[in-house]
Amino acid sequence: MFGHRWAKAEATVVAKEARPMNYGHAQEYNYLVDVRPPEGPPIRTTIHYGLRAPEGGFADPAIGDTFGVLYDAKRGEVKFDLDDPRISAAPAKQAAADAFAAAAAGDPGTPAPAGAGPVVRTIMVDDGSADPADRLAKLEKLRQGGLIDEASYQSARQAIVDTQ
């Protein structure tokens, strides 16, 4: 009687912003979303992503991504539908594990199947500065701020070092 009456709805990310980080915690975001509830007009609201993630981890929706939410029309509250596979990182993790297992079972000298290794994003730290030390310092700030992962940091760092 006093609880929420959550209904399933669809939402699309319009914008997202990083929340202030606490030392030792993963980056969290505020997601501005357009929600299309089952009844009534669409609404625009913010979802504050916290520490609870779906089974297998959170896939971190990007701007333009659509996924399931739970919507309480009476209170005007929206939260991620953690049962929606579109926001779960589990399928991608399973695909990577399967690709690794296939590579491990292969004969020596055969190429690794697609997806067997980590995905490394290319990060360009070029603000017009010709000084590699400045570019490396800016790259380090991105890593310390949690904006890039270790593999992306190493890849971008090597690119800067190679251009010297």
The DSSP line for 146-158 is TSS-HHHHHHHHH
Q: What are phi and psi of 58, to 5 degrees?
A: -100, 130
- Let me know: does 30 contact 49? Beta carbons within 8 Å: yes
Spatial separation of the C-alpha atoms in residues 83 and 109, rounded to whole Å: 41
Least confident of 45-54, 133-142, 151-160: 45-54
Mean pLDDT of all residues in 49-55: 57
Q: pLDDT digit string (tens) for 82-111?
A: 788 887 777 767 777 787 888 788 888 777
Q: What is the mean pLDDT of the chain?
A: 76
Instruction: Inform me whether the pLDDT recorded for 50 exceeds 60.
Output: no
Least confident of 7-21, 65-79, 94-108: 94-108
Q: In this predicted structure, what is the pLDDT of residue 24?
A: 60
Look up residue 101 and give its two tokens. 């297992």
In the chain, what are the domains?
A: 7-87 (2.40.50), 118-164 (no CATH)
Report the run of H or E that residue 15 belongs to, with start and end: strand 7-18
Q: What are phi and psi of 115, to 5 degrees?
A: 90, 0
Instruction: Inform me whether the pLDDT recorded for 3 exceeds 50.
Output: yes
Spatial separation of the C-alpha atoms in residues 115 and 98, rounded to whole Å: 9
What are the angstrom distances between the C-alpha of 143 and each of 73, 86, 123? 40, 27, 11
Look up residue 48 and give its two tokens. 């504050």
Report the run of H or E that residue 99 belongs to, with start and end: helix 90-105
Q: What are phi and psi of 7, to 5 degrees?
A: -120, 145
